[in-house]
A and B are shown apart, each in its own frame.
Chain A
């Protein structure tokens, strides 16, 4: 006999406290579910692969200050020596690094001319070692050859005639059949033709919050610049060791330049998602705090109502209630308060989400998450009420006669 009817009647005569707790549970559920949803959304974003061999790559900035310096020769020497170094798999110069927040973007269109529907893409300038050094996966067409690589000066506006694009970009350009992109000519900078010669599976743009983050283009250009980024892939597990070695080697081999900003891709990812990580921490804190406040509220209300009903509890014991029956009374009572709370809360969660969807263009929440939230709060309620209920069950039946 769960006494549900009797507990409900007793509750109805002391509505205020119970109602406040129910509302607190409702608020907690509504906020908790939406906060978890936002955390999950960020986690999904953060877990998207960049396409790079993240654990074995790093990059650095090589800044030349020498006058009359032969940039082309020095770059080629550097790359040659790096590629031959023990512990290094491959090395390139690149204009920008995925997720680093700095880079180039252009529009690609299927037809030449102004006002043509163009698709935005990040641009990475690499040589024929690009695909291997980045660790991206060529899934159609072919790589650049050495003959494809052309020098590009700081003032150049001319684009090379070949390009490799990501699958996402190929899909945006050719929605019906991304594989058909290989061999097609697209136009950059209004009317310069570029032939797509290959497709890579994945390579993210430098900007994680951009809707086109999966759209990137590799072009066979070697920049001639006094500030160059070298991107280096090491043998598995030797990254940290090689970072120090490379920095030392480059600094010592040529005194007319300095090596700066030696950084792993993993750290770049962390930096890139710093705000996400911080926001998730705040949201987690909010969830935990709210849940704890609610739990303490439940404990408080239960202790208050048990203290107020000491004599009644003693009387119930005198009338034959076992300790377990007393405990169960308060646990069922809490369950009923929680039921009201989570019902209001579930509606509130959906309403709050509806508002968030309309205001911030986020996705609608999944029902599963609400169900998990409801279950979690029922459990929190039962755990919170357990101690007061246990205390109530230990009230002596003699309380019925001993107190007035």
Chain B
């Protein structure tokens, strides 16, 4: 379970203060598939970064799986990211110098699994995204959709409770986007909680729960209102 209470995030630069999140309240339950929409600059990425422990917040309370995140130091947050969270990025963020096998290996090494366990997890997860046969390829030899599948395999390899995706289909054409979305749906069905930021209203509709961020505040969207929009 993910629980945010009155989270505020203020970015302080030399002369501007940006209030990116304002009294942000959200509870995400086990097994949810949450889509996050909202205008550009509204705070979606900020929310996702805080949820994924990539960024700290200015005030409020944040519990992840019952653990008070505010109590953790940098190293504690790193370990928690590694254990509980899988990240999928708009730009895939694969390591260009490593082949698919070793890309998926990266978080497993940080976890400290032994070689046998790592190999098993890598093969299992690359198979899950349909790329078992391409293990020796480097990212540049794959299409965007395939790269994003590798990134998903990498995110899933550590068996995270939460999969966070920031516009995972933003760099893909609609056909590839559909494939990635279907994959995420499968993963969700198998029990992983997903929070996905997207600009695509159709993809957002396929999530079981939809929220909107506007001006740093969160609101639930009901299906009816959204259908009308679509």
Residues of A within 8 A of B (CB): 1, 3, 5-6, 9-10, 13-14, 311-312, 315-325, 396-398, 400-402, 404
Contacts of A318 in B (CB 8 A): 52, 54, 81, 87, 93
Stretch at the interface among B26-34, B72-80, B188-196: B72-80
Shortest Cβ-Cβ A-B pairs, 9 listed: A320-B82, A10-B97, A319-B107, A397-B54, A315-B93, A320-B110, A322-B78, A13-B97, A398-B54
Say yes or no for B212: interface residue by CB 8 A criterion: no
Contacts of A317 in B (CB 8 A): 54, 78
Decide if B98 touches A9 in the complex (CB within 8 Å). yes
Contacts of B112 in A (CB 8 A): 1
Also in contact, A321 and B49, with CB within 8 A (given A6-B105, A396-B55, A401-B54): no
Other contacts beyond A9-B99, A318-B93: 8, CB < 8 A: A319-B87, A319-B154, A320-B83, A322-B79, A397-B54, A400-B87, A401-B54, A402-B45
Decide if B75 touches A323 in the complex (CB within 8 Å). yes
Decide if A14 touches B97 in the complex (CB within 8 Å). yes
Residues 89-103 of chain B, each 1 if its beta carbon lies under 8 Å from chain A, else 0: 111010111110010
Residues of B within 8 A of A (CB): 45, 48-49, 52-55, 74-75, 78-79, 81-83, 87, 89-91, 93, 95-99, 102, 105-107, 109-112, 154, 158, 166
**How far is B78's CA from A367's CA once the two chains are assembled, in angstroms?**
45
Contacts of B105 in A (CB 8 A): 6
**How far is B110's CA from A324's CA once the two chains are assembled, in angstroms?**
11
CB-nearest residue of chain B relative to A315? B93
CB distance from A202 to the nearest CB of B (A): 65
**How far is B110's CA from A321's CA once the two chains are assembled, in angstroms?**
6
**How far is B106's CA from A319's CA once the two chains are assembled, in angstroms?**
8
Question: Max chain B CB contacts within 10 Å: which of A10, A317, A319, A402?
Answer: A319
Decide if B110 touches A398 in the complex (CB within 8 Å). no
Contacts of A322 in B (CB 8 A): 74-75, 78-79, 110
Cβ-neighbour of A401 out of B45, B53, B95, B154 (below 8 A):
B45
CB distance from B125 to the nearest CB of A (A): 14
CB-nearest residue of chain A relative to B92? A315
Could you write out 14 A-B pairs with CB less than 8 Å apart?
A10-B98, A315-B93, A318-B52, A320-B82, A322-B75, A322-B79, A322-B110, A323-B78, A325-B110, A396-B55, A397-B81, A398-B54, A401-B166, A404-B91
Decide if A6 touches B106 in the complex (CB within 8 Å). yes
Also in contact, A323 and B74, with CB within 8 A (given A318-B87, A400-B87): yes
**How far is B79's CA from A210's CA once the two chains are assembled, in angstroms?**
70
**How far is B99's CA from A138's CA once the two chains are assembled, in angstroms?**
79
CB-nearest residue of chain A relative to B50? A398
Cβ-neighbour of A6 out of B74, B102, B154 (below 8 A):
B102
Contacts of A321 in B (CB 8 A): 78, 82, 110
**How far is B91's CA from A312's CA once the two chains are assembled, in angstroms?**
11
Contacts of B49 in A (CB 8 A): 398, 401-402
Contacts of A312 in B (CB 8 A): 93, 95-96
CB distance from B160 to the nearest CB of A (A): 10
Contacts of B75 in A (CB 8 A): 322-324
CB distance from B225 to the nearest CB of A (A): 28
CB distance from A7 to the nearest CB of B (A): 10
CB distance from A47 to the nearest CB of B (A): 53
Question: Max chain A CB contacts within 10 Å: which of B54, B82, B91, B107?
Answer: B54
Decide if B74 touches A401 in the complex (CB within 8 Å). no
CB-nearest residue of chain A relative to B102? A6
CB distance from B139 to the nearest CB of A (A): 11
Question: Max chain B CB contacts within 10 Å: which of A5, A318, A320, A401?
Answer: A320
Decide if A320 touches B97 in the complex (CB within 8 Å). no
**How far is B78's CA from A400's CA once the two chains are assembled, in angstroms?**
14
Decide if A320 touches B158 in the complex (CB within 8 Å). yes
Contacts of B74 in A (CB 8 A): 322-323
**How far is B79's CA from A3's CA once the two chains are assembled, in angstroms?**
17
CB distance from B34 to the nearest CB of A (A): 17
Contacts of B78 in A (CB 8 A): 317, 320-323, 325, 397
**How far is B81's CA from A10's CA once the two chains are assembled, in angstroms?**
24
Contacts of B45 in A (CB 8 A): 401-402
Contacts of B154 in A (CB 8 A): 319
**How far is B166's CA from A324's CA once the two chains are assembled, in angstroms?**
27
Contacts of A311 in B (CB 8 A): 91, 93
**How far is B51's CA from A401's CA once the two chains are assembled, in angstroms?**
13
CB distance from A336 to the nearest CB of B (A): 14
